Structure 1
Amino acid sequence: MGDIFSSQWVNRQEYYRRIHRFKWISQQIDSNNKTVQGNHIYYFLAGNHDIGYGEETRKYHITRYLNNFGPLNRKWYVDFERASDEDADRPGLHKVAILNAMNLDATRNEEYRREAWDFIRDLATERISRPEIPFILFLHIPLNKPAGVCEPSPVTRLKDDFIAYQDYLSPATSAFLLHCLRPTVILNGHDHNGCLATHLVRNTTHLPVHLGDSGRYLQSSGDLCSMTLEELDMHSSEVEAFAESTVLTSGSSNITTADHLWSTIEITARSTMGAYGGVTGIFDIKRDHALDCDSTFYPRGRREMSASADGYKYQYREVALGHHIVIRVLLIVDIASAVIVPALLLLVK
């Protein structure tokens, strides 16, 4: 979910040393530095520890990321029910996209911000033409949420009017992604604690929002999706007001779409760092023809999610890799065994 390893300010030699270690840990190369052949496909997502926040992003951050991990924005289809390779050109059952969230809001590098927003608008056009295909969106920074839904309250810090730190994407960017892309599921990281949330979205607001001196009003998703990037920046407070009246975000259980037009499930994966429990996540998609309504359920006391939408069942659950204290104890025991056991054997002899 981004932050592959801390690297945005390390020198070239250290950067490639860490890449080598990462590829070895993830079994992309063996101990002889040879590429491991297999059926796995690796997709990577850029985080702030990879290319920096908007204020610190430099072209060389982006260039070396592209050279080693691939595009910042990409999309593809996943069709797990395809019968044969003859159907390879048929649009799949799910559309998947990776989005560069680090340059969506105010950034020093306008080139990559434009690239990300052009990519978003292409996705929005495709969603209009094929709305029946479920859409899964990956991005590093979570969407904006009211205080109390997740553990951190929304915090954004600027430096020279550029993003120096942010817990969530801006309200305007978040509203655009929800209204114009209509993701079925969003998966992200960044927040070390993790979070599960559902966004219930209405297409229109009962009270149109006046866009300043432009003479225009913001009343529907179509109005929002037609706004240019400059207009989104200029009228960010009005877009935020529109989002407050059309988007209901909740972290509670047993959610149904009710009177809302659609819902988006957002899964923020907890950090795999040992201090946060040393976990990873497994996300499953299953076909379920019996489902006739959209709903989301979070089992109490567990970091799990089960949801149904568009005839599919989505499940997310955390899986423990190992707590840092347990791992350190085992390491100490291993080291002690390697030293003490041979010493005892020598004494016995």
Structure 2
Amino acid sequence: MVQLKKAFKTFTNVLIIASFILQVYIHTYPSLTPDVCSWDNKKETKLSDKYKDIFKVNYPPENQILHLLKLDTWKTYFKDVLLTKKDNSHNKYINPRFLLFGDPQIKGAWRNTPLLTRLDIFGNDHYLGHIFKTMFKRLTPDFGIVMGDLFSSQWIPDDEFYNRTERYINRVFSGAIPSSLDRIRDLKKKFVNPDDGINYKTDWITFSDGKIRTLRKEEGFPPFKFDYGSDVYRWNENDPFLFINMTGNHDIGYSGDMTFQHLSRFTDMFGADNFVLHYNEGRGNSYRIVNLNTMLLEGPGLENVLMDITWEFLYQLFEEQFDGTTILLQHIPMFKEKGFCKDGPHFSFYPEVYEKEPYKSNLLKSQNHLSLETSNKLLNLLFHNGKPGIILTGHDHYGCDVVYNRYMTKMKDHPNGLAESYWTASKTPDSKNENSEFTGDIVKEITVRSMMGDFAGAVGLLEMNYNKDYETFDFNYKECVFAVQHIWWAANIVTIITVLLLSIRILFI
């Protein structure tokens, strides 16, 4: 019996140590790679002295185990951990900071969902929430952006869409959009008949009627409002920062699937799918954030009205003749040849004879990228002023980055006598010395790695610094990773077991 008690105490002590190490790790993991999990030190930041060097991208070490075996890693770790209060002071007008979250895709439980699956869903919510809380507390950004695919499927009923939204606000991004919870609960009261037993229904008929009649410019229906204001740093006074929820194909579907109902409930919960925000207007450091629903750019689509509205938004942006820097937010990336990123170009369409849903015959079913034609059109509409810009996307869960160089063909090469502007993806900016058709215009596209556990809980950090020499911004992007979800589970399970065993030891041994 004495030996058993001794073994029990020893085992408990081992668990105490393991629990302590795991808990310290999951709460201080950014300190293991502070170079990619922190904003730049303002005292050490150097602006680019060459136009082609304004984009900087930094990724975490490829071999994490080798990184942990280095003495320097632990020196910087303890230095960073002991620096309990990070100096995040900065001028948000010339140095805006963005925290980016790729494709969380939270799942849902149904009546017949097994208990273990329910537990996994519960844990996944809190795993994602832990990442957000850790990074937000560390970095206090000006903007937070989720790159679409908030949920795992668009094929869920309205009440389940509401349930996931509640979890998303309460668990995953707790504290980021506190005002949204009251707003959606008010919607629930407004649209639900308490006798039908359903949690929430979107009023998609009123939504579709308004869209159609506004597009037709009928009397009594004012033009679409796409401009959501200037110098907006929070939606409501209680919000800690400006939080943008982009929409993705798993939220509303591709154009061949998307109905008015899909888009109506998304806008009920998360706001507009197409809008623009302007900052520092009339100054050299002016920029705009363009939030674009790229699922409605290409077809054949199910609801052409919605596609027409999206293109109307883009034409209005072009006519604005904006002379500042553009930050484009879109879920589906631009076209690029196979090999640049994990996903290559791919389109699929519903068959001509589709007995399950005949109305979807030949419609767009899925896509990895926008087409080459649409990508060129989009780049020409939004990045025509010669200022470098940046595109932030999701969809490809692995993440990557490319540069789009702009070229102008010679007029004599075209029978109509007009020059043609086109863009090509590359890993680096081009040079006029090497290609006479290169205009010097460059745009960076960054696909943000998913924050899901299978992709190590990644978060993107984007920092912009105004460069007076070029009258534009320098862009610095970093990718900070946590760990696969099993590490988070292990830390919390070991801690729970440790508390139980320690309680038994104190009370009975």
Pick one of 279, 282, 286 that aligns with 2:458. Answer: 279
Aligned-partner residue type, residue 376 of structure 2: A
Describe the shift of the 1:138–1:347 C-alpha distance in structure 2 as closer, same or farther (beyond 3 A).
Answer: same
* TM-score of the aligned structures, taking structure 1 as reference length: 0.75
Aligned-partner residue type, residue 40 of structure 1: F
Measured in 1, the distance between the counterparts of 2:431 and 2:334 equals 19
Q: Cα distance, 1:110 vs. partner? A: 0.5
1:6 match? 152
Describe the shift of the 1:338–1:192 C-alpha distance in structure 2 as closer, same or farther (beyond 3 A).
Answer: same
Describe the shift of the 1:120–1:257 C-alpha distance in structure 2 as closer, same or farther (beyond 3 A).
Answer: farther
The answer to whether the Cα contact below 8 Å between 1:136 and 1:186 also exists between their aligned partners in 2 is yes
Describe the shift of the 1:57–1:146 C-alpha distance in structure 2 as closer, same or farther (beyond 3 A).
Answer: same
DSSP 3-state at the match of 2:242: coil
Can you give the 5+ residue segments of structure 2 that lack an aligned partner in the other structure?
A: 1-146, 184-236, 351-360
Aligned-partner residue type, residue 196 of structure 1: D
Describe the shift of the 1:268–1:209 C-alpha distance in structure 2 as closer, same or farther (beyond 3 A).
Answer: farther
Aligned-partner residue type, residue 120 of structure 1: L
2:500 match? 339
Q: Cα distance, 1:92 vs. partner? A: 6.7
The answer to whether structure 1 residue 250 and structure 2 residue 426 are counterparts is: yes
Which runs of structure 2 are paired with 1:176-191 in the superposition (5 Å)? Answer: 176-182=377-383, 184-191=389-396
* TM-score of the aligned structures, taking structure 2 as reference length: 0.52
Measured in 1, the distance between the counterparts of 2:148 and 2:166 equals 17
Measured in 1, the distance between the counterparts of 2:340 and 2:377 equals 20
DSSP 3-state at the match of 1:43: strand
The answer to whether the Cα contact below 8 Å between 1:52 and 1:102 also exists between their aligned partners in 2 is yes
Q: Which has more strand, going by share of residues?
A: 1
Q: Which has more helix, going by share of residues?
A: 2
The answer to whether structure 1 residue 98 and structure 2 residue 291 are counterparts is: yes
Pick one of 468, 489, 493 that aligns with 1:328. Answer: 489
The answer to whether structure 1 residue 120 and structure 2 residue 314 are counterparts is: yes
Describe the shift of the 1:326–1:29 C-alpha distance in structure 2 as closer, same or farther (beyond 3 A).
Answer: same
DSSP 3-state at the match of 2:335: coil
The answer to whether structure 1 residue 21 and structure 2 residue 167 are counterparts is: yes
Describe the shift of the 1:167–1:330 C-alpha distance in structure 2 as closer, same or farther (beyond 3 A).
Answer: same
1:144 match? 335
DSSP 3-state at the match of 2:243: coil
Can you give the 5+ residue segments of structure 1 that lack an aligned partner in the other structure?
A: 80-87, 211-215, 222-245, 293-309
Measured in 2, the distance between the counterparts of 1:3 and 1:91 equals 35
DSSP 3-state at the match of 2:345: coil
Q: Which of the pair has the greater relative contact order for Cα pairs under 8 Å at 6+ separation?
A: 2
DSSP 3-state at the match of 1:168: coil
Describe the shift of the 1:323–1:256 C-alpha distance in structure 2 as closer, same or farther (beyond 3 A).
Answer: same
Number of residue pairs matched?
Answer: 286
2:420 match? 220
TM-align CA RMSD: 2.5
2:349 match? 158
Describe the shift of the 1:63–1:207 C-alpha distance in structure 2 as closer, same or farther (beyond 3 A).
Answer: farther
1:172 match? 373
Q: Cα distance, 1:207 vs. partner? A: 7.5
Q: Cα distance, 1:208 vs. partner? A: 4.9
Measured in 2, the distance between the counterparts of 1:341 and 1:205 equals 78
1:243 match? none
Q: Cα distance, 1:203 vs. partner? A: 2.7
The answer to whether the Cα contact below 8 Å between 1:7 and 1:15 also exists between their aligned partners in 2 is no
Q: Cα distance, 1:180 vs. partner? A: 2.4
Q: Please say which structure displays the higher CA radius of gyration.
A: 2
1:109 match? 303
Q: Cα distance, 1:192 vs. partner? A: 0.4
The answer to whether structure 1 residue 59 and structure 2 residue 277 are counterparts is: no
